[in-house]
Amino acid sequence: MKMLSSVVAYGCRYCAPLKHRFLYFTPRRPHHCSPPPLASTTVSPSCNLHNPNLFTGNSVFRGMERFWTGSGIKKSKAMVEHLQHYGVIRSKKVSEVMEAIDRALFVPEGTPPYVDSPMQIGYNATISAPHMHATCLQLLEENLKPGMHALDVGSGTGYLTACFALMVGPEGRAVGVEHIPELVASSIENIRKSAAAPLLKEGSLSVHVGDGRLGWPECAPYDAIHVGAAAPEIPPALIEQLKPGGRMVIPVGNMFQYLKVVDKNPDGSVSVRDETSVRYVPLTSQEAQLRGY
């Protein structure tokens, strides 16, 4: 989540490392999913969805609440099935894409790729939890149809950018922007091993070094924009680069953060709504990110 800092996002507040959780308080409000029991799933013992204090800014910090621990999950297909069970994935297209783009190629070696938790990827950055990726793909699905243009701000290891590329196809354009050059280089190598490799080779998928707060004007306007770090306010450059009829998902706020859905109407006006409370790292400069914010 990052010159930018978008990659560093933890995604959901309940998945954030404890040292970050203690810094923030979120109003009592349901998480984006309250899953039913799953007999074949190992559910984190710290996740008591009936605890009235779970979603407050106090008691929630006792443990790392997740939809599942990931124990025993060895393939993308099983991860997707869990996300479907919990109601995070609701469409065939999103399930197909998250199954096709193997998360294992986009996390550090030796890291359990299918655990519903963010993973450290170096440079004070993380790859977000699977349920946050699925949530954003669902919100953007109608703006990721074949031939459309998509921008991933803070592309990190390249996972979500690769998902975008498969959804918009060879006639579309998927662009990742990340301000850590080393992450850009490694993300390109990750994509080359994935199902999105042909799109990278032919140029409909690209990843660039840059300050994501400024977007990537060269390929604008965009039908879909995803931002992986929390901005104090929605960056004007990203609104400008959003196509009429386009949609952006972006976490906004400081102490209190919400994942916002930003729709640009045909007349150019903008509508904004809150989707869910979240906890992301700040959208900041490269220097601040490398300092640890």
C-alpha 240: how far from chain center:
21
Q: Are 239 and 264 in contact (CB under 8 A)?
A: yes
133 is written with which tokens? Answer: 């990726």
Among the listed residues 128, 194, 206, 277, the single catalytic one is 128
Block residue for tokens 């949530």: 135
Cα-Cα end-to-end distance for the chain? 12
Angle between helix 76-85 and 92-100 (nearest 10): 150
**Beta-strand pair 149-153/270-277:** unpaired
Active site residue 5: no
The amino acid at residue 128 is: S
User: How many angstroms separate the Cα of 232 from the Cα of each of 229, 262, 282?
Assistant: 10, 15, 8
Task: Provide the annotated active-site residues.
Answer: 128
